[in-house]
Amino acid sequence: MDIITANRLSDGAVVFLTASGWSTRIAEAQALEGKESVAAALARAAADAEASIIVEPYPVDVERRAQGLTPTKLRERIRAQGPTVGHSKDLHLQVQAA
């Protein structure tokens, strides 16, 4: 299962493709099954990159776990959830919860 991620052009925030646009919450990401739906979603993302809404879209392999959609790779989990340490960690969690 895949989702599409990118960074928002104006502020760089990590965003996920939803049924209607982009969200900073992975929980709202549109889960994609099969090559065709991934390709179609990437085409939507490419149009938004072209329209200078987001940059560098790419698909991320995810699983449905108890806590919701979760990337299988550590890099993508950190990207979705924020740094695991340091000054940003708590702030990031606050923003996610807001």
Partner 1 sequence: MYRYDEFDEAFVRERVAQFSDQVARRLAGDLDEEQFKPLRLQNGVYLQLHAYMLRIAVPYGTLSSRQMRKLAFIARNYDKGYGHFTTRQNLQFNWPALKDVPEILGHLADVEMHAIQTSGNCIRNVTADHFAGVAADEVADPRPYAEILRQWSTIHPEFLFLPRKFKIAVTGADADRAAVRFHDIGLQVKRNEAGELGFAVWIGGGMGRTPMVGYQIRDFLPEADLLAYSEAIVRIYNLYGRRDNKYKARLKILIHEGGAETIAAEIEQEFNEIRYGVLRLPDDEIRRIETYFAAPDYPTRASESVPFKRARLADPAFDRWVGNNVSPHRAPGHAIVTVSLKPIGGVPGNATADQMDAVADIAERFSADEIRVSHEQNLVLPHVALEDVKAVYDALAAAGLATGNAGLVTDIIACPGLDYCALATARSIPVAERISERFGNPERQQEIGPLKIKISGCINACGHHHAGHIGILGLDRKGEEFYQITLGGSGDETASIGEIVGRGFSTDEVVDAVQQIVDTYIVHRESSEESFLAAYRRLGPAPFKEALYGTA
Binding of partner 1 by 13 (CB under 8 A): yes
With contacts defined by CB under 8 A, name the span among 6-14, 15-23, 26-34, 37-45 that binds partner 1. 6-14
What kind and span of H or E run contains 89? helix 87-97
Q: Which of 7, 18, 30, 37 binds partner 1 (CB under 8 A)?
A: 7
In angstroms, give the least distance from the CB of 36 to partner 1: 26
In the DSSP assignment, the letter for residue 52 is: T
Helices (H), the chain: 35-50, 74-81, 87-97
Task: Closer to partner 1 by CB, 19 or 85: give it.
Answer: 85
Q: Which two tokens stand for residue 15?
A: 């965003």
Q: How big is the CA angle at 52 (ends 48 and 54), to the nearest 5 degrees?
A: 60
For 49, residues 6+ apart whose C-beta sits below 8 A from its C-beta are 6, 55, 56, 57
With contacts defined by CB under 8 A, name the span among 15-23, 25-33, 38-46, 69-77 that binds partner 1. 69-77
Binding of partner 1 by 79 (CB under 8 A): yes
Per CB under 8 A, residues contacting partner 1 are 7, 9-14, 49-52, 55-56, 72-75, 78-79, 82-88, 91
